[in-house]
Amino acid sequence: MAVKKTGLGKGLDSLIPASPVKKKPEGEKTELYQIKTIAKKDEIKLRITEVEPNRDQPRKKFDEDSLLELAESIKQYGVIQPLLVQKKDDYYQIIAGERRWRAAKLAGLKEIPVIIKELSDQEIIEVSLIENIQRENLNPIEEAQAFRRLLTEFHLKQDEIAGRVSKSRTAITNSMRLLKLDERVQKMVIDDMLSTGHARALLAIEDKELQYKVAIQVFDGKLSVREVEKLVKALTTEKTEKKKKEPESRFVYADIEEKMKALLGTKVVINHKANNKGKIEIEYYSNDELERLLYLFQSIQV
């Protein structure tokens, strides 16, 4: 069953209405605009040097081969769909269409078609986000970062974000969970070294260093998601069993500490390590007490 699209979920096909947008009453839900069908009178041309990207837009990575293909298409047919821009101090900031702008520069264009609109910071992020999601341009980490920004900076609830991008609330939650990964693992996802499925499986490993080591192992061994899930399950099960044994062993060594304390008449600490190794710390508080302990040890008959 298809998810009903509301708000941003209507997509970019209604990004710009045929008539001017009236100011909405405070608190009314923002309806975003679409750009598929645009009246020609709304489109103008700007020098490409007057247009600059939005540094805060969700998408950070652009495939070079894909840009070159688009540039070749633009050389033949031009920029078919205009960019959506907003006037800044001495330039126009791209709201939607940075990929077309980059390809147009590669194609050597001097001018580029645009639609000029005035949007709030939140609307700009939402438009950029939905455009990239609809075109599947964002990698999983970029998408998660955009969701988090809507959540933290603009105080939208996860249900509201889900409605705007036509995704389930669970999908939004699972997406943002990827930001809990070690930054090095996130970079591997961005660089297509790991899939989203691999990344989600690695979330079960809380130790960031171990998480990264396993991620490298996954990439080097070309492990499937199922294989990663089994590997992670084995690691977490082993860790859980080890934790269960620790209280029992600690109880045993605590009992020995008490017996040695009674025997020596001073505080004793046993630091037990792996492989049944460790060290015993015996405290003394004066030279006389140190001599007493030494005499006590010397008197022990082997």
Which runs of consecutive H residues, i.e. helices, occur in 178-224?
183-190, 196-202, 208-221
Which residue out of 31, 98, 248, 258 is catalytically annotated? 98
Packing angle, helices 208-221 and 225-264, rounded to 10: 150
Q: What does the block give as tokens for 255?
A: 């009992």
Under DSSP, the state recorded for 139 is -
Q: Which residues pair with 158 in a beta bridge?
A: none
Q: How many helices (H) and strands (E) does the chain have?
A: 11, 7
Residue 96 CA: distances (Å) to CA of 57, 93, 107: 9, 9, 19
CA-CA distance, 134 to 11, in Å (whole number)?
A: 7
Is residue 281 annotated as part of the catalytic site, yes or no? no
CA-CA distance, 16 to 189, in Å (whole number)?
A: 34
Residue 212 CA: distances (Å) to CA of 188, 205, 206, 217: 10, 9, 11, 9
Catalytic residues: 98
